[in-house]
Structure 1
Amino acid sequence: MIDHAHDLASVQSATDRLLTAVAALDNAAGARPSRLPGWTVGHVLAHLARNADALANALDGRPMYVSAEARDADIERDAPRPLGAQLDDLRASDAGFRALAAEPADWSRTVELRNGVTDTAARVPFRRWAEVELHHVDLGIGYELEDLPQEFTEREIGFLAERFDGHREVPSTRLRSDSGRVWTTGGGAPGGPVAVEGSAADLLGWLAGRRDGSALVVKGGALPALPPL
């Protein structure tokens, strides 16, 4: 069962970790390449701030972004800012999102996200948690997939496995972590079942497009090629 209040507290903890790590960087760090192709550290930080605003919009019944072009333009506008301005923006946007999410509401209601995707309001705090954790890794400043909270890692594996469940490009696939947790996904493409085993961090990295899966053990066929998120 989704506990949005628990997830909001986790968003705060994850954001605090991120802010502390970024505050230790020198001002030139914002212009350095991140692990996301074509994006600097400043781009990732700008995206995180604007994503908090966007998810607040979704909870409030508004479109997340005016348009895809406006989203991209806002990130490009904000990416070159000094690190202090990035931190102030992240603090303010995170506080705004969490304040809105803390208000009494019908958490079973459906909200609209990007590209026509819908979800229950109760899952939005977890989506924000995922943004903060994964993009902290994307900054390339010493926070790795192995450093993520175990609860988050296992839940995000389940979330992504559900996302690819029945996908026409993914054969039936069974995921097993070294702790013994099992998930299933795919099933819409010919072939399989394929068994994919490895550490939770490597499974998440592969599912989230952060690792190529070369550290995973694959049985019953080739490692499935996953569509972009």
Structure 2
Amino acid sequence: MMDHARDLASLRDATDRLLSAAAALDNAAVTQPSRLPGWTRGHVLAHLARNADALVNVLEGRPMYVSAEARDADIEKGAPRPLEEQLADLRESADRFARAADAPADWSRTVELRNGVTDAAARVPFRRWAEVALHHVDLGIGHELEDLPREFTERETGFLADRFTGRPDVPATRLTNGTRAWSTGRAADAPEVAVAGRQADLLGWLAGRRDGAALTVQGGALPALPPL
């Protein structure tokens, strides 16, 4: 069962860690490349701020973004700002999301995200937590997947495994970190491929942050995953 209140508390902690870490940067560092192809650290910070506002829209029943083009334009516009403006925007947008999430609401309702994707409102805080946690790593400032809470990495692994479940272009695959297991890919009588490894490496591969070289694969090649 999703506990949106607990996820909101975890989100606050993750946001505070991100803001504290980013505050140690300078204006030059903001313009340097992040770990995401084609994006500077400024792009990552601008995206995080606009994503918070977009999820306010989701919680309040509006379209997440006006359009894909408007989303991309807002990120490009915000990317070159100096660090002080980036941090203020990120902090203020996080506060707007927190206020929207604190408003009385039916958390069992279904909400619409991008591209027609729907989900329970109660999962939105976790989705935001995932944005903050993974993009903190993408900044490339010393925070790694191994530093994320185990609860988060296991839940996000399950979330991404579910996302690829039923995809005809992904072979039936069993994932394990040695203590827990997940299934993903197209339906089959038995998993065609078994992938094992450390939790951070499993998540990194599923999230497109690592190439899977550290994983052990049996029953075939490591599946090629479609973009998220």
TM-score by length of 1: 0.97
Partner of 1:38: 38
Give per-residue Cα distances to partners, 1:107-166, cap 9 Å, x unaligned: 111111001100010000000000000000000000001001100000000000111111
State the alpha-carbon separation in 2 of the partners of residues 189 and 227 from structure 1.
19
User: Structure 1 residue runs of 4+, over 4 Å off?
Assistant: 188-192
SS at 2:195's partner residue?
strand
Counting matched residue pairs gives 228
Distance 1:214 1:199 in 2: 12
Distance in 2 (CA, whole Å) between partners of 1:191 and 1:49 is: 43
Q: Distance in 2 between matches of 1:150 and 1:86?
A: 29
Counterpart in 1 of 2:7?
A: 7
Q: Is the Cα contact below 8 Å between 1:174 and 1:194 reproduced in 2?
A: yes
Aligned to 2:151: 151
Answer whether contact 2:174 2:191 (CA < 8 A) is retained.
no
Secondary structure of 2:196's partner? strand
- 2:198 maps to a residue whose letter is S
Please give the secondary structure, in 1, of the residue aligned with 2:172.
strand
Deviation at 1:187, TM superposition (A): 2.0
Distance (Å, rounded) in 2 between the aligned partners of 1:44 and 1:106? 31
User: Which runs of no fewer than 5 residues in structure 2 stay unpaired?
Assistant: none
Aligned to 1:120: 120
Task: Give the Å deviation of 1:219.
Answer: 0.3
Q: Which residue of 2 aligns with 1:64?
A: 64
Question: Equivalent residue of 2:174, what SS?
Answer: strand
Contact 2:204-2:212 within 8 A present in 1 as well: yes
Query: 1:222: which partner in 2?
Result: 221
Q: Work out the CA distance in 1 between the residues paired with 2:151 and 2:189.
A: 32
Identity, in percent, stands at 75
Deviations 1:166-208 (A, max 9, x none): 1111111000104x11111112589952100000000000000
TM superposition shift of 1:16 = 0.2
CA distance in 2, matches of 1:176, 1:107: 31
Mapped to 2, the partners of 1:26 and 1:190 lie a distance apart of 54
Give the corresponding residue for 2:131: 131
Looking at structure 2, the residues matched to 106 and 63 of structure 1 have their Cα atoms a distance apart, in angstroms, of 18
Cα separation, 2, equivalents of 1:117 and 1:34: 27
Specify the SS of the correspondent of 2:212. Answer: coil
- For 1:19, give the aligned amino acid: L
TM-score by length of 2: 0.98
| Structure 1: distance between partners of 2:211 and 2:131 | 20
Is this contact kept in 2: 1:170–1:188, CA < 8 A?
A: no
AA paired with 1:55?
L
Whole-angstrom distance in 2 between the partners of 1:218 and 1:187 = 17
Residues in 2 aligned to 1:79 and 1:54: alpha-carbon distance in whole angstroms: 17
Residue 181 of structure 1: aligned partner: 180
- Secondary structure in structure 2 of the residue aligned to 1:159: helix
Which secondary structure state, in structure 1, belongs to the residue aligned with residue 56 of structure 2? helix
The residue identity in structure 2 corresponding to 1:105 is: A
Q: State the partner residue of 2:79.
A: 79
User: Contact 1:145–1:201 (CA<8 Å) still a contact in 2?
Assistant: yes
Q: Letter of the 1:208 partner, please give it.
A: A
Alignment deviations for residues 21-75 of structure 1 (CA, whole Å, 9 cap, x no partner): 0001122111000000000000000000000000010000000111000000000
